[in-house]
Amino acid sequence: MTKADDSQKIWIGNDHGGYELKQKIISLLDERGIPFEDVGSHSSDIARYPHFAVRVAKAVSDGEAERGILICSTGIGMSIIANKFERVRAALCTSTYM
């Protein structure tokens, strides 16, 4: 994790289906010196997405994080949960153009 003002961090969370992509994103953030907080899952073992979606969305809603990235098998469940939080707008992105 890169050190910076906590409110400027990008929080990132995933379930088992998003673990490999998260590792690639973390490498890119690290290379570019972009501060982040990895809230898990920290392996490709089966993990339930709601826990991670709530942690990231709450951090954004509370102003602890400037932005959040949520990665799961389909993205639908994470988006639904995140959009229940005030000041959070989550969208399902399936390509680099979205």
Q: Which residues are catalytic?
A: 72
Q: Rounded to 10 degrees, what is the CA torsion of 13, 18, 21, 27?
A: 30
The side-by-side arrangement of strands in the sheet containing 67-71 is: 36-38, 10-14, 67-71
| Strand positions, DSSP E, the chain | 10-14, 36-38, 67-71
Peptide bond into 95 cis (omega under 30): no
